[in-house]
Structure 1
Amino acid sequence: MASKTLFSIIPCVKRKEEKEEKEERKRSFLKNGSMLLKDLIASCDGKSHPIRCYSASELIRATNNFDPSCVIDGSPFADLYRGILDDRTVIIKKHYVDKAIRDIIISMQMSTHKNSLKLLGCCLEFDGPALVFENAGKGLLNNHGSLVVDNELLPWKTRLRIARQLASALTYLHTAFPRPIVHRNLSPTCILLDDDYVPKLFDFSDSITIPPDQLYVQENFAKWTVGYGDPYYQKHYISSEKTDVYSFGVLSLVFLMRRRATYWNEARNVLQCLTENPKLNVSDGQIQIETIADPKILKEVGGDEQAQQQLQDFLALALLCIQEKTEARPDMIDVAKELVRIDKSILP
């Protein structure tokens, strides 16, 4: 008799748990939905950016219940999964901190640019909302400076094209909306490559909009990726478009030198930044490109004087971007224009 009573209780407990789970998803949806609506009204300037709202069960099925085998990249703040949704491969970003709404808003606004990862929709039923993006077959641009994708070292022309296209996306972020938006945390971990090695900028969790009648945002603290952070931002907690320009300059040096943005000294007791490399701090004349460029690139260009000048011009632009004084750095739109010129300096 007791065993029959026990078995009759189990379905009741299960139904209660399912009911509580549904109620929790409903509460999360209402909380996140109200936050999203508020930010949409504030940021979209009356324009419509339709995206689909997915259910939690759809994303759970797409990722096999967020199985670790589906993870592309992870951090304490969010995990990136690859899954199958509506018979297509997608990338799903599941947030764990309260930054998802900002990420959704900016991702939606940036989806019209070909070098920004297109947002397909979101799910508001988790405690931390999840974003659903188009797939990018080659995955993340690695963070260690090797520039190896699918066991293949990216050639110079591809690296230059990636830099040019990223500069275009950042220019769009800075200029295409009613107020400039600063990414604030540009690094290889927020760049995906599609099957044709076309870069897709994403992760706008830390992005900030410069308010009307202001040229910058004064913050209470600074957050950055080590090696890519603007020293002025780190010291004064001031964000502006020039914050992104500095990070882009570091990224350009990584492309040119095939070095990490940070590395240990020979004694392995001090972590150094690439921007502190003595070879980049030559005060008595022009830096010789053969002393700092990736040997793979030097082998590619050989004795071609035009190609060597192209490398020299790219280096000069990168060094201009990482000037300590923000006013000495170019605007992103000028960086983009110069990269177009550099790219076209050698006819195919």
Structure 2
Amino acid sequence: MEALTHLFVFYSFLFSLLRTSISLDTITPSQSIRDGGSALVSAGGQFQLGFFSPGNPDSRYVGIWYTVSTDIVVWVANREAPLSDHSGVLKLADDGVLVLLNSTNGTVWSSRSTTSTTPQNPVAQLLDTGNLAVKDGNDDKPEKFLWQSFDYPCDTLLPEMKLGWNFVTGLERFLSSWKSTDDPAQGEFSVRIDLQGYPQLVVKEGSKIKARAGSWNGINPAGRRLRSDPLLKYEFVFNDQEAYCEYKILNTSVFYNVVLNPSGLVQRFGWMGRRQSWDLFATFPADRCESYTLCGADATCDFNKSPICACLEGFFPKSPKDWDSVDWSDGCVRRTPLECNDGDGFLKRTGLKLPDTSSSWYNKSMSLKECEGMCLKNCSCTAYANLDVRGGGSGCLLWFDSLVDIRELGEPGQDLYIRMAATELADYLEKKRRSGKKKLVAIIVGSTLLVVGMTIVALVSYIWKKKLRNQGTTKRSRRKDYDNEGGKEDMELPIFDLVVIANATDNFSNNNKLGEGGFGPVYKGILPGIGDIAVKRLSKNSRQGLNEFKNEVILIAKLQHRNLVKLLGCCIQENENMLIYEYMPNKSLDSFIFDQANSKVLDWHKRINIIRGIAKGLLYLHEDSRLRIIHRDLKASNILLDNNMNPKISDFGLAKSFGGDQVDSKTNRIIGTYGYMSPEYMVHGRYSVKSDVFSFGVLVLEILSGKKNRGFHHPDHHHNLIGHAWKLWIEDKPMELIDEFVDNLCALSSVLRHIHVGLLCVQQRPEDRPNMSSVVQMLSSENLLPKPKQPGFLSDSPEADSSSSKHETCSANTITNTVFEAR
């Protein structure tokens, strides 16, 4: 019996050792975390708590970091008191206080309970938010926590962590930098909510403000534009009990954090899973204009101008000599003192970062008109503005004495009404009126000169064209040859002699051959007075014919846009039909995105530039050109790239023009490229601008992924690229679509937006797809996007997507009369 008792005691002891050595998310007073042994890991596996050394291996700290990477330690317990060896133990006392003990059982660090209540069943738990919380039993309400690390931030602001004040307890939560990258002790810099005047977010160096993000205007800090991110939501709370800001992640599988580094820079990082590293998304302060009071009082800073500082209207430099020496610290002073009566007025300035609000007064319910009246009544009031910009504006902000730390922001900025003496305001308005008159005269003179210049250019162009037409065979004989083939339309293009083109291409030498498409071979040539050209020569065996040739000549001659290839002329002679284009040195897009070596050239910025350029070219074709043009064969090989990798849409052989009120059309002769054709066109022969939108969406997905839509293979399914992208989207794994060569240089929110737009463009129903004007706006703005619906053609077989639509009683005849011509 005694042997059994000893055995039971032994196994109980062994079990207790195992419990303290395995990774748990909680500890109780009977458990501990030892250096070199156990650790806490949050239930979802995002965060880990344990011992670490940032620099000197003999200096040990208890910290929390992401399990995916130890590069960013988000919280340190004993940042001011490192352990000198590896014998540290973290325990939870019976009264709910966490204590860190050294080798002699001395307390190195302990938590401070925010409540006087004695817990019945204290538990310390590492949550999936990265918060280390001490609670009583299973009470998971944050307001009932006995203590939490989120109340004592170090240098990192995590999602759902509050930055600011609790007026009830007097607790201030603020970020403080490490002393250095190897020393987590509190450094010189901090990020706080400054409660003087109207609360605002500031970066401090010691007790001095280094940079000011500004007060909350209902959308973001009024002094800084926060880029809209579909994965982030920013909030600011200001009431009788609290004043704090925080941000939340809408997708918990994505990791974000904000870090105040030892040099005083606030940086936002995002975890890039495929590269297994943190990417820097934003930095504050980002330029000199974000340095607090760089330009002194009553001046503005504009980083895009030189000099970057300028006095407000009605003010002049206080120290002109220093100002000319690029020392703006003394700021500006009024040219005319305020009269402090009803004669004073206000000058409205737009697009500004509002001044420092530490000496401001505010009212949340007052209208802007009431705000103006309140300012006029106080002789010390120098400016006013709306407190909240949402819904047309509400609330009132008043400034007193000098206006400090103003910046020109442009469109995201706010309106500020600056007080001026009546005489000064009248002088300013009169000067502005005269300046407007001068500008009007300048515009009239400039327009006249422009008309004269254009007339001269047109005359020179006419003479040049006439000279070219007189080379070799006369224009009349060439036109006669062309007319005999049925070409009656006015081409409005220079016609080159065959001999000239043959000489330019070295008699169509194979050494000058650039490639070959459905039209025929393409040659590089050099024309005297013009330079490099590309010559498309219609092959006798071409799948395209004279109709496509005429179509391209007639349509593209009338189109001018920086994202459309420029047609210089044509050659129609001796049964030859050729198109002469500007030469594109980087050839076509498909030679880059589908080539493993060349695709490395296309970083993220080049790819989005190409996507947006194609979108603008299509928008011009659909809405802004003299003719409404539907391209009908938009694909990677028909996108040419110039010296700077700017895209130009080419090959208008299959294009169709629409009248002003025409929406769509139908054909029984379906010609295009499998993988790019829309469902309604490929199955029913119906095409519209939305057919081009579908092709554009396919192009976007191909540019982002580096994979072809048609012929795409994946070991886990039989979808094409569209189907694969849709599968990743609904499984919340869209980033897996991205080309590996793009991942290291791109911002996550921008990538997701482009994938989102691509999927909106390839939706099954044409009415669900956006038009190109909406697409261009989606790509360049930060507005919320609608949810995409299921795309068309999830596989390479059109029958899979169109079977439900085949309801015609004579479907056999319809298919017989339809000609599919793949290109």
Structure 1 CA distance, aligned partners of 2:672 and 2:682?
8
> Residues 187-221 of structure 1, C-alpha deviation per residue, up to 9 Å, x if partnerless?
01111111111111111000011246431111012
Q: Which amino acid is the alignment partner of residue 90 of structure 1? A: I
Return the match for 1:91 from 502, 523, 534: 534
- Aligned counterparts of 2:524 and 2:580: Cα–Cα separation in 1: 10
Task: Provide the rounded CA distance (Å) in 2 between the counterparts of 1:264 and 1:300.
Answer: 25
Distance 2:606 2:766 in 1: 29
**Cα 1:35–1:107 shift into 2, 3 Å:** farther
Measured at CA, do residues 255 and 266 of structure 1 come closer, stay the same or move farther in structure 2, by a change above 3 Å?
A: closer
Q: Given residue 250 of structure 1, which amino acid in structure 2 is its aligned partner? A: V
- Among residues 50, 62, 70, which one is paired with 2:504 in the alignment? 62
8 Å Cα contact 2:728-2:737 kept in structure 1: no
Is 1:293–2:758 an aligned residue pair? no
Number of the residue aligned with 2:489:
39
Summarize deviations over 1:273-317 as a string: whole Å, max 9, x none.
32122x4235756x323221112222223xxxxx11111111110
Aligned-residue sequence identity (percent) comes to 26
Q: Answer yes or no: is the 8 Å Cα contact 2:563–2:649 preserved in 1.
A: yes
Instruction: Name the residue aligned to 1:105.
Output: 554
User: Which deviations, in whole Å up to 9, do the C-alpha atoms of 1:103-159 show, x marking residues without a partner?
Assistant: 11222122x201111111111114242111111111111268426686743001101
Which of 148, 160, 167 matches 2:608?
A: 160
Name whichever structure is richer in helix by fraction.
1
In structure 2, C-alpha distance between the alignment counterparts of 1:264 and 1:255, rounded to whole Å: 14
The answer on whether the counterparts of 2:599 and 2:741 sit within 8 Å (CA) in structure 1 is: no
In the superposition, relative to structure 1, how do residues 200 and 330 fare at CA in structure 2: closer, same or farther (>3 Å)? same
CA distance in 2, matches of 1:65, 1:325: 49
3-state secondary structure, aligned to 1:83? strand
What residue is the counterpart of 2:581 in the other structure? 133
Do the aligned residues in 2 keep the contact of 1:89 with 1:134 (CA within 8 Å)?
yes
Alignment of 1:335 onto 2:788: no
Unaligned runs of 5+ in 1: 1-21, 42-48, 302-306, 343-348
**Amino acid paired to 1:291:** E
Counterpart of 1:192 in structure 2 is 640
Q: What are the equivalent positions in structure 2 for 1:142-181 lying under 5 Å apart?
A: 142=590, 145-146=593-594, 152-181=600-629
SS of residue in 1 equivalent to 2:535:
strand
Distance 1:244 1:77 in 2: 20
Number of residue-to-residue matches in the alignment:
303
- Determine whether 1:82 maps to 2:531: no
Select which of 711, 714, 721 maps to 1:274.
721
TM-score, structure 2 as length reference: 0.35
Q: Does 1:201 find its partner at 2:649?
A: yes
Q: What root-mean-square deviation, in Å, do the aligned CA atoms of Structure 1 and Structure 2 show?
A: 2.9
Q: Secondary structure at the match of 2:526?
A: strand
Aligned to 2:748: 308
Note the residue ranges of structure 2 that are not aligned, 5 or more in a row: 1-471, 540-544, 783-823
Q: Distance in 1 between matches of 2:655 and 2:720?
A: 24
Q: Secondary structure at the match of 1:174?
A: helix
Distance 1:208 1:284, change over 3 A: closer
Q: CA deviation at 1:182?
A: 0.4
Deviation at 1:36, TM superposition (A): 8.7
SS in 2 for 1:186: coil
Q: Is 93-102 or 325-334 further displaced after alignment? A: 93-102
Q: Secondary structure at the match of 2:742?
A: helix
Which residue of the partner structure matches residue 513 of structure 2? 71
Cα distance change on mapping 1:76 and 1:119 into 2, 3 Å: closer
Among residues 232, 240, 254, which one is paired with 2:702 in the alignment?
Answer: 254
On the 8 A contact 2:600/2:741 being kept in 1, the answer is: no
> What TM-score comes out, normalization by structure 1 length?
0.78
Match of 1:14 in 2: none
Q: In structure 2, what residue type is equivalent to 1:294?
A: D
Contact 2:588/2:641 (CA < 8 Å) preserved in 1? yes
| Larger strand share, 1 or 2 | 2
The one-letter code matched in structure 2 to 1:298 is D
Deviates more, 1:96-105 or 1:325-334: 96-105
Conserved? CA contact 1:80–1:91, under 8 Å? yes
Q: Which has the larger radius of gyration?
A: 2
Task: Sort the Cα spacing of 1:148 and 1:133 in 2 relative to 1 into closer, same or farther, 3 A.
Answer: farther
Q: Deviations over 1:242-266 (max 9, x none)?
A: 0100000000001111111222546
The Cα of 1:236 is off from its aligned counterpart by 0.8
CA distance in 2, matches of 1:62, 1:330: 44
With a CA cutoff of 8 Å and minimum separation of 6, indicate the structure with the bigger relative contact order: 1
Any idea what the Cα deviations from partners look like across 1:13-45, whole Å, max 9, x if unmatched? xxxxxxxxx99x98764242577973338xxxx
Secondary structure at 2:770's aligned position in 1? Answer: coil
Contact kept? 1:242, 1:331, Cα under 8 Å: yes
2:486 & 2:718 partners in 1: Cα distance?
A: 40
Distance, in Å, in 1 between the alignment partners of 2:697 and 2:644 is: 24
